[in-house]
Amino acid sequence: MNTLSIENVSVARGPRNVVHDVTIAVPPGEVTTLLGPNGAGKSSLALACAGLARVTTGWIYLEGNDIANHRPEKIRAAGMSVVPEGRRLLPNLSVEENLAVSTFSLGKKAAA
């Protein structure tokens, strides 16, 4: 299992930072929830972990390796992905099938 550590991370969406100086540790096997109102930066932080939003300061470590601002396909190969929310799901697929889509680019062993 992968350990995720987010240290002093700020995230930009477009030209401005929308997440400021966040530090979170997610131990293996634990579930961590981000709570907050719309616009608080929850999705932006998740997208930054997956390489889909730009980290302007700080570090994101997965198993001790800094993955901040790496290409999304490299981050997926390391074991991190984002599953779409709400209307961005594939409506003709089951929940399990939608989750499997996020592992598409991984090898069979990693996807399991």
- What is residue 77's predicted lDDT score, i.e. its pLDDT? 85
Q: Total structural domains in the chain?
A: 1
Q: Where are the alpha helices (DSSP H) in the chain?
A: 42-49, 72-78, 95-101, 108-111
Going by the DSSP 8-state scheme, the letter that residue 61 receives in this structure is: E
- The Cα 69–Cα 71 span in angstroms is 6
Q: Is residue 103 part of a domain?
A: no
Question: What pTM, to 2 d.p., does this model score?
Answer: 0.75
- The Cα 17–Cα 57 span in angstroms is 10
- What is residue 22's predicted lDDT score, i.e. its pLDDT? 96
Tokens matching residue 39? 């616009």
Report the C-alpha dihedral over residues 36, 41, 44, 46, rounded to 10 degrees. -40
- What is residue 102's predicted lDDT score, i.e. its pLDDT? 66
Q: Which CATH number fits the domain that encloses residue 72?
A: 3.40.50.300
**For every one of its 112 residues, what pLDDT tens digit does the chain have, with 9 covering 90 and above?**
568 999 999 999 888 999 999 999 998 888 888 999 998 999 999 999 999 999 999 999 998 999 999 999 899 888 887 776 666 677 788 888 877 776 665 555 655 5
Full residue range of the structural domain in which residue 75 is found = 4-80
